[in-house]
Every structure is written in C-alpha cells, then in structure tokens.
Amino acid sequence: MGIKWYKTVLKALGIALIAFTVFGPVSSLILWSIAIKWYWPHVLPQEVGLAYWKQALGLQRDWAIAAVSILDAFKASIIIACIATGLTMVVSIPAAYALARLRLPLKVLFFLLFLMPKVFPQQPIFVNLLPVFTQWELAGTVQGVILVHILVCLLFGVWISTSAFKAIPEALEEAARSVGATAWQTFWRILMPLAMPGLLVSTIFVFVTSLTEFTGTFFIGLPFVTTLPMLLYSASGYNMQFASVLAIVLLVPSLLLMIVTERIFRPEFLSAVGR
C-alpha cells in the first residue's frame, strides 16, 4: 500500500510538471496576445481584446496599437519553408539511402559534412558565409535564405531518413530482386513504402526547422527578406502582445502537421515497419 501511494503522488507530480511546462507558456502566450492593458501587480489583464490580432492579421490599422501586418512575412515563411523542405528531402533521401546501404569509404566524413552547420557555433559560420553569399549575389534574397535553410535542415533530413532506411532488413530488398525487381523497382515498391513513416517524420522536422530558423535568416536575409522569426525577434524586446501573437502563429503549422501525420505515429503502423 505504501508503494502504491508513493507511485500515485509521483505520477501526479509528473503529469503536473508536463502540463506546466507545455501549457504554462502556451496559456501565458494566449493571455498576453489578448491583453490590451496589463500592469503590475494585477494577476490578470485589466483589459482584454483582439486588437493586436486584428492588427497583425491586417484587419485594421490603428497607430495606437504597436503591431504590423504579419501576412507578408507569414507568406514568405511558408513559401521558403516549403521550397527548402522539398529541396532538402530531394537531397536527403538518396543521401540517406547511400549512407544506410552502401559501403562508402568516406562515410564518416560525408556524415560530418551534414553535421557541420549544427555542431559548430552558428553565428561565426553565417558571418563567414555572408561575404560568399554577397559575392554570389545571394545575400538579401529569398534564394539565399532558402539555401541557408537547406544547409541547416540537411542534418535532420539525412539523419532521420538514414535510420528510416537502416530499419528495413536487407533481405526484404533481396527478396524483391529474387522475384525479378530491378534495383530501381525495389527502391520504389519496397523501400520507399516501408521507409515512409520515418521519411515523413524527417520531413516534419525539416519543415519546422526551416519555419523557425533564425540565425541564418538574420545574417543572410535581413533587411530584404523578413520571415516570421525576424518579426518575432524585433517585437520580443518591447511588445509582449505582438510577440505572443507571432509565437502562436508560428506554432500553428507545426501543430497542424502533427495532426495530419498522426496516423504514422500509431504503434501498429510503427511496429509493422519493424518487422
């Protein structure tokens, strides 16, 4: 009985901790995004309203409210994220297959190449990248920002995709070859369907990484390319309301993706892949 009581309390504490860390900041964000007036020492806002939301979504223009329309930045963020994700996965999938299956002599070096932008401090990398990009006339362009995003995203793209391919027993490929499938047919009919859950997870990671990418965009993109994280950065110091609106908007695509791809996280689907 003593142990049971102890366990229940521990479980309750655990759940409370998770709830607090997840819902605490989110509920604070929601509260801040609708607060018109909120001064110390009040626990709740004195005045609430959707003024910041309206302003941010371009539904009203009021000079008294310190928020600008985020529609252009939102559009830019989504377009950049979609293109960067598409290109990253186009590179990642063949690279991951090669890393998972082929006996490459320089495998470690190859892998290190993808790791580089993540393991070294980011600022010096991008500061050094700026002159190069300027020379190639990519600085301050959407193309330049997409390229930087691909550099940052390749790690997740290649890494997760590699383990997706590695989880598939080689005998399944050999079996396909033995019944007459070419290497190409085997890849599309056997490997890709089996690797799909892992590849989708990888795609989500890449998309979210690109959507929220800050450092690279800051150095390469500003002042001509403005994405949502750029707006959030400029708002976060002085304008809690506008920053909260932006933060919630940034959460939405990730949450939507999780819901859409929820199917792949079901245990029976995942366990089928392991067989």
Partner 1 sequence: MPEVRLREITKRYGKVIAVNGVTLTVEDQEILTLLGPSGCGKTTTLRCIAGFVIPDSGQIFIDDQDVTRIPPEKRDIGFVFQNYALWPHMTVFENLAFGLQLRRIPKAEIRQRVREVLSLVRLSGMEDRYPRQLSGGQQQRVALARALVLRPRVLLLDEPLSNLDAKLREEMRFEIRELQRQLGITAIYVTHDQAEALVLSDRIAVLNEGRLVQLGRPAEIYQHPANRFVAGFIGLSSFVEARVVAVEANAATLETEDGMRFTVPKEGGLVEEQTIVLAIRPEHVEIVDIPSEAVENLFQAEVLRAAYLGNSIDCRLRLGKWELRTLLPPGRIPSPGEKLWIHLPPEKLILVKA
Q: Is 263 in the site for partner 1 (CB under 8 A)?
A: no
C-beta of 197: minimal distance to partner 1 in Å? 10
C-beta of 237: minimal distance to partner 1 in Å? 51
Judged by CB under 8 A, how many residues of this single chain contact partner 1? Answer: 22
* Phi, psi of 248, deg, nearest 5: -65, -40
CB atoms within 10 A of CB 223: 7
C-beta of 218: minimal distance to partner 1 in Å? 43
* Interface residue with partner 1, options 179, 237, 238, 267 (CB under 8 A): 179
C-beta of 95: minimal distance to partner 1 in Å? 23
C-beta of 179: minimal distance to partner 1 in Å? 3
* Interface residue with partner 1, options 137, 185, 258, 260 (CB under 8 A): 185
Which CB, 188 or 224, lies closer to partner 1? Answer: 188
93 is written with which tokens? 């999938």
Q: Is 178 in the site for partner 1 (CB under 8 A)?
A: yes
Give Cβ neighbours of residue 125 (< 8 Å, ≥ 6 apart). 116, 117
DSSP state of 141: S
Q: Is 107 in the site for partner 1 (CB under 8 A)?
A: no
Q: Is 188 in the site for partner 1 (CB under 8 A)?
A: no
Name which of residues 191 to 230 contact partner 1 (CB under 8 A).
193-194
Contact of 246 with 67, CB cutoff 8 Å: no
- Side-chain half-sphere of 222: how many Cα atoms within 13 Å? 14
C-beta of 100: minimal distance to partner 1 in Å? 17
3-state secondary structure 32-92: HHCEEECCCCCCCCCEECCHHHHHHCCCCCCCCCCCCCCHHHHHHHHHHHHHHHHHHHHHH
Which CB, 12 or 272, lies closer to partner 1? Answer: 272
Q: Is 264 in the site for partner 1 (CB under 8 A)?
A: no
* Interface residue with partner 1, options 61, 75, 107, 189 (CB under 8 A): 189
141-147: long-range contacts, CB 8 A cutoff, minimum separation 24:
141/224, 141/225, 142/76, 142/79, 142/80, 142/225, 144/220, 144/221, 144/225, 145/80, 145/216, 145/217, 145/220, 145/221, 145/225, 145/227, 146/80, 146/83, 146/84, 146/87
Give the position of tokens 């979504």. 57
Q: Is 275 in the site for partner 1 (CB under 8 A)?
A: yes
* Interface residue with partner 1, options 115, 175, 252, 258 (CB under 8 A): 175
Binding piece for partner 1, criterion CB under 8 A, among 66-74, 127-135, 176-184, 230-238 = 176-184
Binding site residues, partner 1, CB under 8 A: 169, 171-172, 174-183, 185, 189-190, 193-194, 271-273, 275
